[in-house]
Structure 1
Amino acid sequence: MPPPAPQIIRVIDLETTGEGPPIHGVCEIGWQDVALQKDGRWEIEGEGGARLVNPGRPIPPLTQAIHHILDEQVADAPFWHDVARGVLDPYPRRIALAAHRADYEQKFCTTPLTRGAPWICTWKCALRLWPDTPSFSNQMLRYWRKPEGMVHELGLPAHRAFPDAYVTAFHLRDMLNEVGPEQLLAWSAVPGLLPRVIRPGPDRGKSWQEISDDSLSIMLGDRDMDVRFTAETELARRRGGGVVGRPSPQGKLV
């Protein structure tokens, strides 16, 4: 009998007509798998792929200017409900899905389409693992970290579904080999823990430990859930519990 195929985490990237359904739709989906090897390490698996999707509405010029997908290119493409399940649910090997800022993909990749798969958000995990990165976009991480083995040309053009999924897969591979899937899933299940203040003003760019109690109090009421979550975590630290910023080796496990 041949050995069983390795477990995979499938990285997904979507190009869409806008921010979210039902007003907007998907016009391209890309994917790249990361697989658990016999030696216990995670590696890029297979060639990945992409499919154009008919979004069921015209693509606004604002979003065409980002991904450059034309209406005539998707006019004869299948609709989302005809494409999504086969890409999102490669049963039985897939144990999770992943995306950079996965909250966006999850708007379109609903639970029925994914069969309830858990998600890893590489953006949230990068905040924890690589807090010294100047910023945490997919492309900044790519050029700041220079992941081993990445073929530069396969990650281009940016803002197309397969190249972006390909780049994200290398970030995911390195994260998995550093802390494992359980920790990444745990971090992904809560808002992002920001290593620096991102709001405009005199505290912008400071670590959270540096800001005053008055500034922290303002951040606790911020409309951004990641800012609020980080402020709450810093408040807990000041009161004797919780961790913010770069976790210690032991702190990565909790």
Structure 2
Amino acid sequence: MTNEIYVTDIETTGTDPKTDEIIEIGSQKWINPQPSFGVEGPDEQTSWVKFSALVRPNQSVPAETSAIHHLTDWHLSEALDLSDVLTDFTYKMHPRPIFAAHNSTFEASFLEASLAEKGVKPRWICTYKLALHLFPDAPSHSNSSLFYFLGVFKNLPEFWESFLQKNRLHRAWPDAYITTQLLNIFLNYVSIPEALRISSAPALLPKVNFTKDHRGKKWAQMDESFLTWVLHPDRDFDADVIHTAQYWLDKAKQEDE
């Protein structure tokens, strides 16, 4: 097991890895992870190494995407291309490193093929899935919401106020840094091997996030007809939704016996 975790975030031109491109990579390398409930700084046991780079894409950044991260063609005009950025990023990297990201499926979908060209095949920790597992009743499982819900800001308000003034969220490295603080908390409850196992399995979702009549309601409250509808082969739901619907349908059938 490697003693480094690369907590990573990317910004892109859109959400489809088949047609869109990475325009920024930010990563916080956590060396010798020693989790705590505060903000960790460099010391003899654990340390952080920052990586941040813009990436020049082969397409223009759509206005609606710039509105999220505020990166435009102007910002990227003199950036390196993705291959060169990843050459720098993966320099001396273990061939099977541990990466972490909030909703790692997204980062993996954009990064894995290009990382493989550099001889790197990461294992992924998903802090979104860890949050669902550890804090299923949190009001939201977004990065920013968990940052406040778990008291990260409250622990060191002066530090975080300064950080948020200097760093724009929805940019790659600041978001990766926030994710690092969440992972720092989560690893007090689960080991790294457990985190990898949870991250590789479908998540049990707390609330439905689709259809007008069901959005925002708890999956545990859904009736068998709705669960059966979700599981129909013609539906195109992701693995987490299918797993959750099957879990609650099986549970309902057991209770009926």
* TM-score interval (norm. to shorter): 0.7 to 0.9
Q: Is contact 1:7–1:94 with CA below 8 Å preserved after alignment?
A: no
Per-residue CA deviation, residues 68-92 of structure 1 (Å, 9 max, x unaligned), is: 1121221111000111243256524
Tell me, in whole angstroms, the C-alpha distance in 2 between the residues paired with 1:138 and 1:188: 16
Q: Is contact 2:83–2:114 with CA below 8 Å preserved after alignment?
A: no
Q: 1:227 to 1:111 in 2, by over 3 A?
A: same
Tell me, in whole angstroms, the C-alpha distance in 1 between the residues paired with 2:29 and 2:105: 19
- Give the structure 2 partner of residue 68 of structure 1: 70
TM-score (norm 1): 0.81
Residue 125 (structure 2) aligned to one of 100, 120, 124: 120
Shift of 1:29: 0.7
Q: Is contact 2:128–2:141 with CA below 8 Å preserved after alignment?
A: yes
- Give the structure 2 partner of residue 91 of structure 1: 93
Moved more, 208-217 or 66-75: 208-217
Residue 208 (structure 1) aligned to one of 219, 231, 234: 219
Q: Match of 2:79, as an amino acid? A: A
Tell me, in whole angstroms, the C-alpha distance in 2 between the residues paired with 1:105 and 1:93: 18
TM-score (norm 2): 0.80
Give the gaps of 5 or more residues in structure 1: 1-5, 242-254
Residue 183 (structure 2) aligned to one of 143, 163, 172: 172
SS at match of 2:130: helix
5 Å-filtered alignment, 1:1-254, equals 7-37=3-33, 41=35, 45-88=47-90, 90-92=92-94, 95-111=97-113, 113=115, 115-147=120-152, 148=155, 151-152=159-160, 153-155=162-164, 156-221=167-232, 222-225=235-238, 226-240=240-254
Q: 1:8 to 1:94 in 2, by over 3 A?
A: farther
Q: Is contact 1:101–1:123 with CA below 8 Å preserved after alignment?
A: yes
Shift of 1:26: 1.3
Q: Is contact 1:85–1:113 with CA below 8 Å preserved after alignment?
A: no
Identity of aligned residues (%): 34
Shift of 1:194: 0.3
Q: Is contact 1:8–1:93 with CA below 8 Å preserved after alignment?
A: no
Q: Match of 1:154, as an amino acid? A: F
Q: Is contact 1:34–1:173 with CA below 8 Å preserved after alignment?
A: no
Q: Match of 1:196, as an amino acid? A: K
Number of residue pairs matched? 234
- Give the structure 2 partner of residue 244 of structure 1: none
Per-residue CA deviation, residues 184-227 of structure 1 (Å, 9 max, x unaligned), is: 11121123210123333444434333222222212323532222
Tell me, in whole angstroms, the C-alpha distance in 2 between the residues paired with 1:99 and 1:140: 15
> In angstroms, what is the RMSD of aligned CA positions?
2.6
SS at match of 1:13: strand
Q: Match of 1:184, as an amino acid? A: A
Moved more, 101-110 or 79-88: 79-88
SS at match of 1:177: coil
Q: Match of 1:61, as an amino acid? A: A
